[in-house]
Amino acid sequence: MTETLPSEITLSARGSCPFDPPPEVTEQAKARPITPIRFPDGHIGQLITNYTLARAVLADPRFSARQELRHIPIPNRLADGEMGPADPGMFIRMDPPQHTRYRRLLTGQFTVRHMNLLVPRIERITAEHLDAMAEQGPPADLVKAFALPIPSLVICELLGVPYSDREVFQQHTSTMLRLDSTSQEVYGAIGKVNEYLDGLVEAKKASPAEDLLSGLITGGELNQEELVTIGFLLLVAGHETTANMLGLGSFALLSNPAQLAALRADPTLVDGAVEELLRYLSIIQIGIQRTALEDVDLDGHHFKKGDGVLISVPAANRDPERFEHPEQLNITRPNTGHLAFGHGVHQCLGQQLARIEMRVGYRALFERFPDLRLAIPADEVPMRSDMAIYGVHRLPVMWEEVRQ
């Protein structure tokens, strides 16, 4: 009997190449497009590793993002029956029309045009951090000097959160994202950040400024709890994700000298490089979760009402039916639509911001330090296999030359 029971798949344990998806996931992906898996709470759901099926599920309103329907795919978190509906404002865990209402209050702030206006400011911030890194001299931890502070500062400025308070949210975000944190620790951390934001929103109500949170306050459509929750979502989603792409992406480029040389020779390749790094690295390593609201037949696959569905972004983005030689990093690959930002109505709200931060960031980093290299052997770089968002914990780098 136990032999036929679907097993629990380790979704984060990596193999020999730190950039490749967990071998257990790749094994399933090779065998079949969809695999029954046992969630830590005992629920039997489905793991999707096929690109086409992943896209179809994410675009299908019969698959819900509602929080109270989820089975947490992370061991060590008490799950079933514990989660209520998402707090007002936590629209990433809601379905339309509730989701739509919140999202539309924000989308005007994250348009391509709006984000392009931020380029000069992001270039400034980036230059200042690279100046400081050059000033201090080698070696440096690229995460501390570059990858984490730039997106943190940008999202703080955008929201109107004082950057000097970053310790509060950076430390608690870490606790939230650690896969070995207990539910209690996670809720504790969320509570702390919310407490901080509650005070901040109160202060802004008294004296609104020119920032996103103030704009939402004066818009008058959201109550205090919703404002705090939306601030929380944007703050957490807005700095750890891009930070990890900057850190891990730099590591990937340094580990693929031919690709890096091509980018250095022609910096206009950076837009394509960003898309390819997003695909190749797929830092949302556990995947995206949905629940079937009814019995569904899709592409010949059957889902039962209530099935927890886990879409493996790393596997879908390496699907050989969609991407030629998916295991290769190829910055000149024609963009064929990766799923790194998800798909469907929840597709990443901050994607245009993230793109700009990465384009500016990689370009400036490798222009400034033309002989940048790892300061420790690649296999000693501490990887974030223990975090919900993949990346590097630290990236010690060296250089000789600095360009102005």
Partner 1 sequence: MKVTVDRERCCSSGMCALTAPKLFDQDDEDGRVVLLIAEPPEELHAAARKAESFCPCQVITVSDD
What whole-number distance in Å separates Cα of residue 83 and Cα of residue 87? 10
Residue 48: both structure tokens together: 């999707």
> Residue 262 binds which entry of partner 1, ligand HEM, none, with Cβ cut-offs from 5 to 8 Å by kind?
none
What whole-number distance in Å separates Cα of residue 288 and Cα of residue 301? 19
Helices (H), 304-350: 313-316
CB atoms within 10 A of CB 305: 11
- Do 67 and 95 contact (CB within 8 A), yes or no? no
CA-based Rg of the chain, rounded to a whole angstrom?
21
The residues in 80-99 that bind ligand HEM, with binding defined as CB under 6 A, are 91-92
Closer residue to partner 1 in complex, CB, 169/341? 341
Single residue of 89, 215, 231, 238 touching ligand HEM by CB under 6 A: 238
Q: Which stretch binds partner 1 (CB under 8 A): 226-234, 249-257, 289-297, 350-358?
A: 350-358
Q: Which stretch binds ligand HEM (CB under 6 A): 129-137, 177-185, 208-216, 236-244?
A: 236-244
Single residue of 86, 228, 270, 283 touching ligand HEM by CB under 6 A: 283
Of residues 375, 285, 354, 290, the one with CA closest to residue 95: 290
The residues in 318-347 that bind partner 1, with binding defined as CB under 8 A, are 337, 341-345, 347
Closer residue to ligand HEM in complex, CB, 221/371? 221
Q: Map residues 343-382 to x or -, x wherever contact with ligand HEM holds by CB under 6 A.
A: ---x-xxx--xx----------------------------
Least separation in angstroms between residue 62's CB and ligand HEM is 15
Closer residue to partner 1 in complex, CB, 113/403? 113
Can residue 111 be called a binding residue for partner 1 (CB under 8 A)? Answer: yes
Of residues 156, 239, 154, the one with CA closest to residue 200: 156
Residue 115: both structure tokens together: 């984000």
Can residue 342 be called a binding residue for ligand HEM (CB under 6 A)? Answer: yes
Single residue of 13, 17, 78, 112 touching partner 1 by CB under 8 A: 112
CB within 8 Å of 52: residues ≥ 6 apart: 33, 299, 319, 321, 322
Q: For the chain, how far is it from start to end, CA to CA, in angstroms?
A: 66
What whole-number distance in Å separates Cα of residue 239 and Cα of residue 155? 7
What whole-number distance in Å separates Cα of residue 63 and Cα of residue 290? 6
Backbone angles phi, psi at 400, to 5 degrees: -110, -50
Can residue 104 be called a binding residue for partner 1 (CB under 8 A)? Answer: yes
What whole-number distance in Å separates Cα of residue 251 and Cα of residue 79? 35
> Residue 385 binds which entry of ligand HEM, partner 1, none, with Cβ cut-offs from 5 to 8 Å by kind?
none
Residue 50: both structure tokens together: 């096929």
Single residue of 237, 254, 273, 360 touching ligand HEM by CB under 6 A: 237
Closer residue to ligand HEM in complex, CB, 251/399? 251
Of residues 120, 130, 137, the one with CA closest to residue 250: 130
Can residue 108 be called a binding residue for partner 1 (CB under 8 A)? Answer: yes
Single residue of 37, 143, 245, 248 touching ligand HEM by CB under 6 A: 245
How many residues of this chain bind partner 1 (CB under 8 A)? 25
Sign of CA dihedral 191, 196, 200, 203: positive
Of residues 231, 190, 194, 252, the one with CA closest to residue 390: 252
Whether the link from the prior residue into 139 is cis, omega within 30° of 0, is: yes
Single residue of 14, 103, 301, 359 touching partner 1 by CB under 8 A: 103
Can residue 284 be called a binding residue for ligand HEM (CB under 6 A)? Answer: yes
> Residue 238 binds which entry of ligand HEM, partner 1, none, with Cβ cut-offs from 5 to 8 Å by kind?
ligand HEM
Single residue of 7, 10, 107, 182 touching partner 1 by CB under 8 A: 107
The residues in 260-319 that bind partner 1, with binding defined as CB under 8 A, are none
Of residues 368, 394, 360, the one with CA closest to residue 132: 368
Given the rule CB under 8 A, which residues bind partner 1? 58-59, 100, 103-105, 107-114, 337, 341-345, 347-348, 351-352, 355
Given the rule CB under 6 A, which residues bind ligand HEM? 65, 91-92, 103, 155, 233-234, 237-238, 241-242, 245, 283-284, 288, 340-342, 346, 348-350, 353-354
